Amino acid sequence: DTGVSQNPRHKITKRGQNVTFRCDPISEHNRLYWYRQTLGQGPEFLTYFQNEAQLEKSRLLSDRFSAERPKGSFSTLEIQRTEQGDSAMYLCASSLNPGQTSSYEQYFGPGTRLTVT
């Protein structure tokens, strides 16, 4: 499978616990994006990486959230001291550098559904 993969697919955690999600992008894609999606809504941008550099963070990304992409390949998104309001689907997407292609298409993974109890 050469698409974007995410693990785990589902995570149930108790409020106050830390969780970490992983995203493996399409191998030749140097851009990686994280989005959050709540029920009935479209995905909302959280942050993105160009290779290993994190270039932008949304105001939605509180201090409890941290994302890394240490070697410019896979990425992790960690949420510390989870709150019930963090319950959502966390989506990862990857793309080529827009300067390398005429399309800005982002390829999405299946998401990690987080439930905070």
* Between 52 and 80, CB nearer to another protein: 52
* Between 80 and 108, CB nearer to another protein: 108
* Between 77 and 93, CB nearer to another protein: 93
Residue 42 CB, nearest approach to another protein (Å): 3
Q: DSSP of 7-27, one letter per residue?
A: E-SEEEE-TT--EEEEEE--T
Taking the C-alpha atoms of residue 43 and residue 53, their distance in angstroms, rounded to an integer, is 22
Residue 74 CB, nearest approach to another protein (Å): 16
Query: Which residue carries 């105001």 as its tokens?
Result: 59
Q: What residues line the site for another protein (CB under 8 A)?
A: 4, 31, 33, 40-45, 48, 55-56, 91, 93, 95, 98, 103-111
Residue 112 CB, nearest approach to another protein (Å): 10
Distances (CA, A) of 60 to 1, 7, 46, 65: 31, 22, 6, 9
